[in-house]
Structure 1
Amino acid sequence: MLCVVVAALAATTPSRAADDGVPAFETLRAAHRPSDLIVLDRHGEPIQTLRIDDKARRLPWQPLATFSPALRELIVHGEDRQFWSHGGVDWSGLARGALARTQGRVQGGSTLTMQLAALLDPALARPAGGRGALQKWSQIGAAHALEARWSKAQILEAYLNLVPLRGELIGVPAASHHLFGKQASGLDRGEAALLVALLRAPNAAPALVQRRACALLGEAPDCERIGSLASRALVRRSAPPLGEQLAPHHARWLLAQQAKPITSVRLRSTLDARLQRSALQALRTQMAELQGRQVEDGAVLVLDNRSGEVLAWVGSSGPAWSDAPAVDAVLARRQPGSTLKPFVYALAFERGTLTPASLLHDAPADLDGGSGAFMPRNYDHRYRGWVSARSALAASLNVPAARLAALVGPEPLFERLNAAGLQLSESGGYHGLALALGSADVTLLQLSNAYRMLANGGRWTPVAGTPGAARAVFDARVAFQVGDILADAGARATTFGLDSALVTRGFAAVKTGTSKDMRDNWCIGFTDRYTVGVWVGNASGDAMHHVSGTQGAAPVWRALVQQLHAQQPSRAPPPPPGLERRAIHFDNQLEAPRDEWFLQGSGETLADARGRVPISEHARGRVHPNEHARGRLRVGEQLAQKRPSGISSPRDGSVFALDPDMPAPVQRIRFEGEAGQWWLDGQPLGSGASLQWMPWPGRHRLELKAADGRVIDRIAFEVRGAYVRR
């Protein structure tokens, strides 16, 4: 009687029109979206996959011919033996399934076509209690419509790509990769049988899956092998990588830069796969060299000077070395140390405060840091006396840089650094003179692009793919002077020697930096075509053990510069208009004679912040250190001691911290400057050349006025801390 009913149903099978919601095969295939985005390098080579769908794991759509013959055979044999001959419904199979249910057994009667119809239409999905007659009838109609519009090969291909398997795995390609670590084309009969056995119960225990797979294979299969295979594959927690994983951090950054939703399965980057591999290898080689010195992490960035494109981006040394491999050290903010010094000198050159030939005093100094005494010390704890600005910068001397920062002022330096794209927080007064030695936090991406600005004649442009308007940060002539100094191996020799990791075959302007307690180590530099930035340290912030700039980051920098210019050495840039080169020599053999670059006209004068001091010896190309007795030269000390007009103390942007446990009289702030009327926050305080004030927390504005009420000078400062005890 049951067979008669099924036959009657078959005679009245509903037909579905071509426009009844069944998609075209080509449309379905084109709409398929893998769960992982494939990132390509600039030449189209895959370099990274990036998970963008956390709900399901799908791989790219695969043609039917790429599935192993064993899988194609077994899936038809195990799920739908009449697949190649029926019209979408196996009526005898439905009858057997219905009979089994009357006897209390469960036996599927749905064909592969019917199962695919349920995958394409959520309304046809099987509920927990099984399909009712009406839903089954709709599924049969959908299967007939599919058979009417699609070929058998298309139906089987779609089914293999869309069928849910174990856990989050969708489609045989994803299951094959996750469970067996291979492509679907390489599945053998045992592996294929296990996948087919999962179709009816995707999350079944390995023993049950093994029994079903052995039954499917029939002729005395090696069930012990299949059992071992099932026990390994079905408990695997993570899948092997989807191809080469060269740039995980850059891939995430690149995805975040996309202004529109990703509609393609592939995303092209500007990276060069060959250079990316070299950068990664160079960093890991250096990690091995530094083993035992408490160094775990590093980062490398290579930028194209002209376009701003990222050519290499290594955000971590990797899990073999780092405890935090997911942290992108290219974007992490760290203290840059001496790598900020070139910008201090550039600002002073541009202002006319000094020239590369000017002398600065390298000796222990206690300076007014704005919020207290500032006592810079050189990295090697040695002092060289009078040195030229060229030597001081190239050799990375701290004391001259701090003296120079006192001349240019923390706030102007702070503003210029932010113009260079460093996005510093707080204020110049907050950092004080320590800003010149790298007290603020920056990222490797920002700092490398700031050096790229110097390579481009002082003109800043954003890294390709990021927002920002082009702007002039420094005079092109000043950028050239700084680059020329940073490329001068002889000038840096007193600190780094003549054969350090900073020496390259062609032109390269480079600077190292080490933050306090050796927590961060940097090497940033540019050639005529590229800017390369390297950071070495620990993501945790732990200090390294005796790792300087030339020992930590510089070897990686040098290896990449050598590779980048293996075929064509870097050439020094031509000087921009407005520069002149003249021979100079120093009396008493203070430094060796040399040719020096001067801004036109600056060779005859040296300027401080308020006015110019004539130095006639510069006009003759001579620099006399013994002229200090006549008040003619030693500009570093002369300007540091010179009292400017207006308000001399406190400096603009100063920050004062109060100690509530100290008595008030010892915490008074002294206002000093030109004699006049002192006004604080719009209220008169007194008159004279100096005045003491009991500090009060908050931001304040101090004005110095002439007798006629004219404002001579005004500054802003801040007092922090609790109210002092009076």
Structure 2
Amino acid sequence: MLNCGRFFLAFYELLDRGGGYVKSPTRKVGCFHVKENEKENPQKELVPNKAPLTQKLRTYRRPLLITAVLFFVLILLPPLLVLAYYLHDRTSFDPDSLLTMQATSFIYDQEGELITALHGEQNRIPVTIDTIPETLQQAILAAEDLRFHNHQGLDIRAIVRALFTNVQDGAFSQGASTITQQLAKNAFLSPEKTIRRKFHEAFLAYQIEKNYTKEEILEMYLNWIYFGHGAYGVQAAAQTYFDKDISEINLAEAALLAGLPRRPSFYSPIQNAEVALERRNMVLTLMTQNQLISSAEAKTAALEPLPQELYNTFSLQYPHPAYVDYVIEELVTRHGYTDNQVFRGGLHIYTAMDRKTQEKIEEVLNNQSYFPPSPQDQLVQAAMAVVDHRNGLIQGLGGGRSYEGGRSFNRASQLKRQPGSAAKPIFVYAPAMEAGFTPNDILPDSPINFGGYRPRNYDNSFRGTVSIRQAVSLSINIPAVYLFRHIGPEVGIEFAKNVGLPLEGEQAYLALALGGMTKGVSPLQMAGAYAPMANSGLYIEPLAVTRIVDYQGKEVVIKPIEKRVLSEEAAYKMTDMLVTAVQSGTGTRAQMRRPVAGKTGTVELPHTAEFRNVSGNKDAWFVGYTPELTCAVWMGYDITDRNHYLRQIYGGSYPAAMFRDVLSLALQDQPVQAFARPEGLRYASGKFLGTSASTAIPVSTEESTIVESQAQAEPAATERLYPPEQEEQALEEIEKDSTEIPPTYVGTDAQPVTDAQPVTDSQPVTDSQPRAITTPVANQPITTDFINSSSDSSNSEERVIEGVPKGEE
């Protein structure tokens, strides 16, 4: 033993000193060496004579080193090189990525009822391990990885067994992947079957085992794995095969699910029932052999039938597609979510959709009787939006006829069309009411030249003077442009921006008074812009999503943006005039058995070479509201050309009828109520808004027109109608108002309801005195005298409009 110890001591020194051996300064005394600097003393330590051992070690040093090098090069180096070759481009491992698996999101209506699920590419509903039955966990382990709790990601015993079996069979008949390896493959790797991927799989499995507990790994596996028919994870699988929550499945169902991950399509009970039954019973046998269940339990489970149909199958189609598409659009564009989070983030999205209203919108848009005849190659389209103006919640959206969803063009929110006269309340009349004007104030209706811009009325006639109420209800153009110029275009533009219209970079062209916008608007934007007039002057930005709960249970409540844009008095004045427009103006088709306010809009075909000698319209609108809801309807062609345009179709025809029928159903269970009138509101008899020093518009009495002075012969930059390069053509695209109701309309209940209830206390109070402001009257010189009017403003209005037709614009 002593000699052995000396041998290893010497060998260690030899390796440590690079093979050299340093002698101690000694002299030989008998069989020992004594240090030379010490005196002879038998009590001193004697150093053994190591010379023979050193010589022997020197003899074996070279063979030992050669053996060690050969062992490293031939035995250890090859597998290290193989590992380096296959793992140099290995997939990076991020432990947190396993916690952010693709998960199905859900959208709910205002009652909390499920509308649809958003699957993305994978239908997955993550659940925690404590909600998964113990029988399913055991069945999965029996079928896939019996030694799951005894290995660290790789099961060497299973690998050796699989190799032996595969050699015997002469084929890859048995695998040895553990549950951890399967999780790594599904979460990080492609499905290709290569040696490189197997090395990556083993490396990732080892990393997973280092970072997670066995319970966490099993939970992630049960949520990741594919079970066939579009179902990822046990929850989606239970819903797909059994229409159950995972916590409710029994032993037979657990065994069936446990047998699917190996080959989901082959073992599908729907596609291959006999093989699926055999596979399920084999899992039950494995559970019995490993004492996970009793034989009696296995026999009972084996008698249960297989499922005969699928439930909640994966599909990219979903109900109420226009509304669902807008919810996705709102989440991404307004609330900061990515597409990946929306479709794969496991969100629970709660919305304001009223199912009854939404279904009625879809019914109307798919009913031919609400549309005029159109060529087969392109149908007349329509879109609409319904908003509860009291809270800004979007109750329903219609994206078009036969709207299929899939995030296609949603006309309700993505349309960009000029609104025509439906824009007058926004750009002109609401700002004027806020500035202190009243519905009884008088405007000129004469041929007027605004620095080169000469707007015309729909019937090419002039009434001399009209009240603002009459100008609104009959949709007369010249008074609107005059008032827009009077209050200042910038004022109207600022108000339009405040109520959500997209006017970035829009110049203050006078054509804005008639809806001549550069980019146009959508029905949802128009509904939002009208809402403050219905909501006592308070603007609330329309929104569909009310709250969001993520997969971890964290809740985000969406708070709407609201601000006051009109006083209560100004908002009521607008409502009062728009009620008149529905009762006796251009919007009579929108009448219901409750108070309704609204405005029509019709945009004429552009006067271009393509439409030479063609008379028709491009767009038709109706925007209105009741005390409860605001609704905007658009009708037109997606592509307007010489063969596809609106013939004798106006905002007060089909669009108004759509408005009426949708809101009638939406409000059928709600009591009738009047628009709230501010306490103490009183109207003046009416002042005459003509030439005054404040307007700085000299008047030519010889031509009976209002013209700019010679110094202002060219319109100012802020008063141009359109950009110079577009002005010649754009000036022709002015709103056209018509007096006819199309005889082709065949919608339900086409005639207006004659007993519609008027707004309570909506008649103006007329005990104030008029103010001294002059107005031009057709074919008469303008004076600065007071124009006497009766104290009964309704009589004076009747006198002004005597003989003027009351019909569609």
TM over 0.5: yes
SS at match of 2:395: strand
Once the two structures are superposed, the pairs formed by residues 289-304 of structure 1 within 5 Å of their partners are 289-290=370-371, 292-293=373-374, 295-304=379-388
2:112 counterpart of 1:44: yes
Q: CA deviation at 1:396?
A: 1.9
Q: CA deviation at 1:509?
A: 1.4
2:750 counterpart of 1:651: no
The alpha-carbon distance between structure 1 residues 212 and 567, as it changes in their structure 2 partners (threshold 3 A), is closer
Whether contact under 8 Å (2:420, 2:602) holds in the other structure is yes
- The answer for the alignment partner of 1:401 in structure 2 is 480
The correspondence for 2:620, drawn from 517, 521, 524, is 521
More displaced 10-residue stretch of structure 1: 380-389 or 441-450:
380-389
Q: CA deviation at 1:335?
A: 0.7
The correspondence for 1:606, drawn from 676, 688, 692, is 688
The alpha-carbon distance between structure 1 residues 33 and 522, as it changes in their structure 2 partners (threshold 3 A), is farther
Post-superposition CA distance 1:364-407 (Å, at most 9, x none): x4x4455x4434241x6777665433222112233443444454
- The answer for the alignment partner of 1:162 in structure 2 is 224
SS at match of 1:277: helix
More displaced 10-residue stretch of structure 1: 266-275 or 120-129:
120-129
Whether contact under 8 Å (2:442, 2:686) holds in the other structure is no
- The answer for the alignment partner of 1:432 in structure 2 is 510
Whether contact under 8 Å (1:37, 1:266) holds in the other structure is yes
Q: CA deviation at 1:486?
A: 0.7
Whether contact under 8 Å (2:361, 2:662) holds in the other structure is no
The alpha-carbon distance between structure 1 residues 373 and 608, as it changes in their structure 2 partners (threshold 3 A), is closer
Whether contact under 8 Å (1:58, 1:170) holds in the other structure is yes
Alpha-carbon distance in 2 for matches of 1:412, 1:550: 28
Alpha-carbon distance in 2 for matches of 1:269, 1:141: 38
SS at match of 1:488: helix
2:574 counterpart of 1:482: yes
The amino acid that maps onto 2:623 is I
Once the two structures are superposed, the pairs formed by residues 60-71 of structure 1 within 5 Å of their partners are 60-61=126-127
Alpha-carbon distance in 2 for matches of 1:39, 1:642: 58
- The answer for the alignment partner of 1:332 in structure 2 is 415
Alpha-carbon distance in 2 for matches of 1:639, 1:309: 52
Post-superposition CA distance 1:257-276 (Å, at most 9, x none): 22578697334444133245
Alpha-carbon distance in 2 for matches of 1:96, 1:543: 76
Alpha-carbon distance in 2 for matches of 1:395, 1:286: 30
The correspondence for 1:564, drawn from 667, 687, 694, is 667
The alpha-carbon distance between structure 1 residues 260 and 40, as it changes in their structure 2 partners (threshold 3 A), is same
Post-superposition CA distance 1:128-185 (Å, at most 9, x none): 2178799869969988999x954xxx9877544311467997436667889x897798
- The answer for the alignment partner of 1:97 in structure 2 is 162
Whether contact under 8 Å (1:406, 1:640) holds in the other structure is no
The alpha-carbon distance between structure 1 residues 611 and 44, as it changes in their structure 2 partners (threshold 3 A), is same
The alpha-carbon distance between structure 1 residues 402 and 286, as it changes in their structure 2 partners (threshold 3 A), is farther
The amino acid that maps onto 1:537 is G
Alpha-carbon distance in 2 for matches of 1:157, 1:413: 60
The alpha-carbon distance between structure 1 residues 604 and 638, as it changes in their structure 2 partners (threshold 3 A), is farther
Alpha-carbon distance in 2 for matches of 1:280, 1:640: 49
The alpha-carbon distance between structure 1 residues 139 and 425, as it changes in their structure 2 partners (threshold 3 A), is closer
The correspondence for 1:272, drawn from 353, 362, 366, is 353
Whether contact under 8 Å (2:536, 2:572) holds in the other structure is yes
Q: CA deviation at 1:506?
A: 2.1
The alpha-carbon distance between structure 1 residues 189 and 559, as it changes in their structure 2 partners (threshold 3 A), is farther
Q: CA deviation at 1:252?
A: 1.4
SS at match of 2:533: helix
Whether contact under 8 Å (2:189, 2:197) holds in the other structure is no
TM-score between both structures, scaled by the size of structure 2: 0.55
The alpha-carbon distance between structure 1 residues 565 and 400, as it changes in their structure 2 partners (threshold 3 A), is farther
The amino acid that maps onto 1:337 is G
Alpha-carbon distance in 1 for matches of 2:514, 2:706: 21
What stretches of structure 1 of length at least 5 have no aligned partner? 1-21, 220-231, 581-596, 614-634, 663-726
The alpha-carbon distance between structure 1 residues 254 and 144, as it changes in their structure 2 partners (threshold 3 A), is closer
Q: CA deviation at 1:338?
A: 1.1
Alpha-carbon distance in 1 for matches of 2:186, 2:511: 67
The correspondence for 1:281, drawn from 362, 383, 402, is 362
SS at match of 1:487: helix
Alpha-carbon distance in 2 for matches of 1:291, 1:77: 66
The alpha-carbon distance between structure 1 residues 636 and 252, as it changes in their structure 2 partners (threshold 3 A), is farther
Higher strand share: 1
Whether contact under 8 Å (2:382, 2:400) holds in the other structure is yes
Whether contact under 8 Å (2:581, 2:597) holds in the other structure is no
Post-superposition CA distance 1:479-498 (Å, at most 9, x none): 322210111267634x45xx
- The answer for the alignment partner of 2:25 in structure 1 is none
Q: What RMSD over aligned residues (CA atoms) do the two structures have, in Å?
A: 5.6
- The answer for the alignment partner of 1:543 in structure 2 is 645
Q: CA deviation at 1:657?
A: 7.7
The alpha-carbon distance between structure 1 residues 112 and 215, as it changes in their structure 2 partners (threshold 3 A), is farther
Q: Taking CA–CA contacts closer than 8 Å with sequence separation of 6 or more, which of the two structures ends up with the larger relative contact order?
A: 2
Whether contact under 8 Å (1:196, 1:213) holds in the other structure is no
TM-score between both structures, scaled by the size of structure 1: 0.60
Once the two structures are superposed, the pairs formed by residues 192-203 of structure 1 within 5 Å of their partners are 199-200=261-262
- The answer for the alignment partner of 1:690 in structure 2 is none
2:174 counterpart of 1:108: yes
Once the two structures are superposed, the pairs formed by residues 31-180 of structure 1 within 5 Å of their partners are 31=99, 33-50=101-118, 57-61=123-127, 79=144, 94-103=159-168, 104-110=170-176, 113-115=179-181, 118=184, 128-129=194-195, 149-150=214-215, 159-164=221-226, 170-171=232-233
Q: CA deviation at 1:420?
A: 3.4
SS at match of 2:601: strand
Alpha-carbon distance in 2 for matches of 1:138, 1:375: 74
Q: CA deviation at 1:334?
A: 1.4
The amino acid that maps onto 2:359 is S
The alpha-carbon distance between structure 1 residues 557 and 269, as it changes in their structure 2 partners (threshold 3 A), is farther
> Which is greater in Rg?
2
The amino acid that maps onto 1:504 is M
Post-superposition CA distance 1:23-58 (Å, at most 9, x none): 99xx999x465443212233322224345x66x553
The amino acid that maps onto 1:99 is F
Name the % identity: 22
Alpha-carbon distance in 2 for matches of 1:324, 1:242: 11
- The answer for the alignment partner of 2:331 in structure 1 is 255
SS at match of 1:606: coil
SS at match of 2:532: helix
- The answer for the alignment partner of 1:555 in structure 2 is 657
The amino acid that maps onto 2:387 is L
Whether contact under 8 Å (1:355, 1:606) holds in the other structure is no
**How many residue pairs are counted as aligned between the two chains?**
559
Q: CA deviation at 1:421?
A: 2.9
Whether contact under 8 Å (2:123, 2:236) holds in the other structure is yes
Alpha-carbon distance in 2 for matches of 1:359, 1:637: 17
The alpha-carbon distance between structure 1 residues 645 and 348, as it changes in their structure 2 partners (threshold 3 A), is farther
Whether contact under 8 Å (1:296, 1:537) holds in the other structure is yes
Q: CA deviation at 1:641?
A: 4.0
The amino acid that maps onto 1:255 is L
Q: CA deviation at 1:558?
A: 1.6
The correspondence for 1:452, drawn from 531, 547, 555, is 531
The amino acid that maps onto 1:649 is A
Alpha-carbon distance in 2 for matches of 1:271, 1:199: 39
The alpha-carbon distance between structure 1 residues 135 and 28, as it changes in their structure 2 partners (threshold 3 A), is closer
